[in-house]
Homo-oligomer: A and B are copies of this chain.
Amino acid sequence: MTDRYPTRTSRAPELLAREDPVCWGEPGGGPLGEEDLAVYAATGFHCAERLLTDDEVAQCNAELTRLAGDPRLLHDDRLVREGGTGEVRSVFEVHRLSEPVARVLAAPKVVGLACQILGSEVYVHQSRINYKPGFGGGPFYWHSDFETWHAEDGLAAPRALSVCLALAPNHPHNGALMIMPGSHLTFVTCRGSTPPGHFRRSLSSHDPEIGTPDRASLTTLADRHGIRMITGPAGSATVFDSNCMHGSNGNITPFPRANLFVVFNSVDNAPGKPFAAPGRRPSFIAARDITPFGR
């Protein structure tokens, strides 16, 4: 198979035009209307305020608390803890660890968005709850998810998306998600090569060197597209294309953030051999089971 999105090479970074569609589906095929789909195709993302009910938000937050305190998960790799305090920062594969979370993600208003945009059945490539404390929670540097999923997980095409469900209010001041609208149409190649076990570094919120776009490319994209900060009350959803350039600033406010993330990939874009990594990432980070999810 030709690699249409070469990355992690010794060559200087390049801005490549995306070769694949953004929307693969039709207005009749799910929750989004014609205009919503057109905006998604142009910007690479869609925001829905209060997609989850207050009850669903409360259930997910309760599950985070329950899982963080479950003694059976004390040494489970899927719970990523803060170095110093041992506090849980991320719970991976949360749709398998929690029945209530799985129910939320399997609702037509969630997985149906993915099926419609990707024009096929989808599987959960990754799911996680992220908890970012206040008072100095770190930034998450700019990146394209697809760059990683292509290089390390063997996804040939950006026929995948993330749904980010806010479990706490996202304010402009507490490190909300930032997206460069329209950046999903450009693939920024990254210099370098992936060392074995690199995925461990990508679990922390700090700027990894591998798979990180260079400053000149980021400046070009930011000048061209600007930066949109995604805010909203708990329960709000942001659906964004796998190749959106995105990141988040740190958070010195007292207000923590918590988000439920799910990555849906088209079953027609099944993971293969990594395009630029010595081995595959563990399945709790990058699923290999492509059983259609939800319906």
Binding site for B on A (CB under 8 A): 135-136, 139, 141-142, 171-173, 175, 178, 207, 215, 218-219, 222-223, 227, 229, 247-255
Given A222-B254, A249-B252, answer yes or no on A173-B229 (Cβ-Cβ < 8 Å): yes
Closest B residue by C-beta to A219: B254
Output the least CB separation between A247 and chain B (Å).
6
Q: With the chains together, A167 CA to B141 CA distance in Å?
A: 25
Report the Cα distance A44→B223, complex, angstroms. Answer: 35
For A175, list chain B residues within 8 Å (CB).
249
Contact B178 A229, beta carbon cutoff 8 Å: no
- Bound form: Cα–Cα A181–B175 in Å: 20
A149 to chain B, nearest CB (A): 21
| CB-based contact A222/B253 at 8 Å | yes
Chain B: which residue is nearest A247 at the CB level? Answer: B252
Minimum CB–CB distance from A205 to chain B (whole Å) comes to 11
Sample of 9 further A-B pairs with CB below 8 A, known A135-B218, A139-B252: A136-B139, A173-B178, A178-B253, A218-B254, A223-B254, A227-B253, A227-B255, A248-B252, A249-B250
> CA of A172 to CA of B178 in the docked complex: distance in angstroms?
10
Candidates B135, B136, B141; contact of A252 at CB < 8 Å: B141
